[in-house]
Structure 1
Amino acid sequence: MKILIIGSKGFIGQHAFDHFKSLHFEVLGCDVVTDYVSEDYIQIDATNSDYHAIFEQHKIDVCLNCSGAASVPLSLQNPFKDFSLNTLNVFKILEAIRSYQPSCKFINLSSAAVYGNPETLPIKENATLHPLSPYGIHKMQAEQILKEFHEYYNIATCSLRIFSAYGEGLKKQLFWDLYQKFLNNDQIELFGTGNESRDFIHVDDIVQAIHLVIQNAKFRGEEINIANGEEFTIQYVAELFHTNFHNSKTIAFNNQVKQGDPLNWRADISILKALGYQQNISIEKGIQRYIDWINAL
């Protein structure tokens, strides 16, 4: 089986590339970053991405799209760039698959941001979507594009709604911010009340889930929650960081909610579990590993 990973130099993409390589899959990486060393890598133009040549020249069994923007604040500042990376780019990839290799399976990394503030917890895949940001809207539109290509062109597609991803290699978002603040500040100030909650999933478990999807999913344009079905408050996560730092610094919340941020998330992962998923890395173990990784930098 030959797997093409678009966005292979990014956080999830790099972990996925290493995972499938370690299992002796034939893996081809693709990104906008220059790489003069790797032979199994294709660089694409960041300003004018074109995937036709890739699918014309290589026989691909599975295309995993890990590329795109992953920032709610940046999507508010530059919505066209976010749309181009998260929506238009998906259409370009699928059009290349349709033109040259219609038997190729296509997986797109979507986001729990499509849900916004859910009406009930846990969140099922058939919940009403209320995205709170351009980022969430563009991910929702990409999901519709996957449905379109399956319904009208019989392309095997599947959207993975990633919840709160974290792990070694991620130098942004909540955990990176927490580490920097514990390292440099006497008082740790965070947005919100501390009661906001997320369903965290370590990148190793995300990659495990992707592998199971490739093996067992229906690929009929469906969406699948990628999470652990657990709800942890930001206050709890901050205290875990506090425990690992062994200091007397204090944590305070400013009661301000960032634009585009949902309040509470916990996923229903019945579909994912039916594919064979079992969590390997707890939030406690994952945060300890994350801090150990940063300390070793």
Structure 2
Amino acid sequence: MVTQSRSVLVTGAAGFIGRYVSRYFLRQGWTVIGIDTSSVKHASLLNLSAYYQIHLPDMALGDLLQKHSPQVCIHCAGSASVNLSVTDPAKDFYANTGVTFELLNTLRLNAPDCRFIFLSSAAVYGNPQSLPVSESHSPLPVSPYGFHKWQCEQLCLEFTNVYGLPTASARIFSAYGPGLRRQVVWDIFQKIITQRSPTLQGTGRESRDFIHAIDIAAALFVIATTGSMQGEVYNIGSGREVTIAELVSLVLDTLCYDCNPEFDGVVPTGVPLYWKADTTKLSTLGFDPTVSLEQGISSFASWCRAELVGV
């Protein structure tokens, strides 16, 4: 696919991954149209050709699609909290499954050739029976968030098989990078910087596959431009398993801090224990991560210091 004079619609453009995606597509020469619930002053307009404050579902989306005729839609909007999905599954359902259905249906009616990529999650796998986990592994979610992401993947397949809408789903593993003020990497950094000897969740033996947001954006671009778009799914991860204890050690080394964080031994409901992605499928499309965990943690440390202590 030729990228010149192409346009992409990014939902959740003011969010963490949405900002990275918008910036990446813009640098590839694409016109980027962003939508989000945030006001204009909170959106990163430098990476956008146009921005609309919309709370999906919204009837205005149909007119917007007809006006801009995007070739690609990257769906970054939606709830992204396992803990909140456990305490309020209804809110998570409507923010993820409900909004995704409305978006797919609006595309069907107004932009049926638009290539749609849904941002799913490794939470679909739950606790995999073996590692690394490939896309062929049976989904075994352990949280409402994981179930709702799986439902959204099925909606993508439905709209491809029934209506011919080109779709794909990207199962993102543990995303991180400057700008993310939640989840495990931020939690460890902010507790160590502000408390020096903090207590962290879990046992430290839990593992994750960390993938930098720069690489996530690049992977989504590869899927958008070379994927078959037949409702298939792709893992987006680094293929490297890292325990939380190992991550803490790397953070301490990066910060040059000498302390001994403790773990409370409690794994919250809905949180998987071990993750490592099989990235073979995406690699065959020509994508491999470029940001090592050591590089990513170093840049994250600089950003965290600026955020938390001002230097």
Q: 1:215 offset after TM fit, Å? A: 1.5
Q: 1:128 offset after TM fit, Å? A: 1.1
Q: Please give the TM-score of this superposition, normalised by the length of structure 1.
A: 0.96
Per-residue CA deviations over 1:206-257 (Å, capped at 9, x if unaligned) read: 0110111112110000010000111000000011111122222112112111
Classify the secondary structure of the residue corresponding to 2:261. Answer: strand
Q: 1:92 offset after TM fit, Å? A: 0.7
- 1:70 alignment counterpart: 80
Per-residue CA deviations over 1:175-202 (Å, capped at 9, x if unaligned) read: 1111111112242211221111001000
Partner AA of 1:7 in structure 2: G
Per-residue CA deviations over 1:267-291 (Å, capped at 9, x if unaligned) read: 1111110011122111111001101
Runs of 4+ in 1 over 6 A off after TM superposition: none
**Aligned pair in 2 of structure 1 residues 23, 11: CA closer, same or farther (>3 Å)?**
same
Contact 2:190 2:304 in 1 (8 A): no
- 1:43 alignment counterpart: 53
Per-residue CA deviations over 1:130-189 (Å, capped at 9, x if unaligned) read: 101110000000000000000000000000000000001101111111111111224221
Asked if residue 22 in structure 1 is aligned to residue 32 in structure 2, the reply is no
Where do 1:61-210 residues align within 5 Å? 61-210=71-220
- 2:9 alignment counterpart: 4
Q: Whole-Å Cα distance in 2 between the matches of residues 227 and 35 of structure 1?
A: 32
- 1:271 alignment counterpart: 281
Classify the secondary structure of the residue corresponding to 2:230. Answer: coil
Classify the secondary structure of the residue corresponding to 1:224. Answer: strand
Q: Whole-Å Cα distance in 1 between the matches of residues 24 and 53 of structure 2?
A: 20
Q: Mean Cα displacement is larger for which, 142-151 or 209-218?
A: 209-218
- 2:303 alignment counterpart: 293
**Residue correspondences, number:** 296
CA RMSD across the alignment: 1.3
Q: 1:49 offset after TM fit, Å? A: 3.4
Q: Whole-Å Cα distance in 1 between the matches of residues 98 and 171 of structure 2?
A: 18
Contact 1:49 1:89 in 2 (8 A): no
Contact 1:110 1:160 in 2 (8 A): yes
Q: Whole-Å Cα distance in 2 between the matches of residues 24 and 88 of structure 1?
A: 32
Contact 1:113 1:136 in 2 (8 A): yes
Q: Whole-Å Cα distance in 2 between the matches of residues 45 and 186 of structure 1?
A: 40
Contact 1:123 1:265 in 2 (8 A): yes
Q: Please give the TM-score of this superposition, normalised by the length of structure 2.
A: 0.92
Q: Whole-Å Cα distance in 2 between the matches of residues 60 and 272 of structure 1?
A: 24
Q: Where does structure 1 lack aligned partners over 5 or more consecutive residues?
A: none
Q: Whole-Å Cα distance in 2 between the matches of residues 283 and 45 of structure 1?
A: 35
Q: Whole-Å Cα distance in 2 between the matches of residues 133 and 108 of structure 1?
A: 19
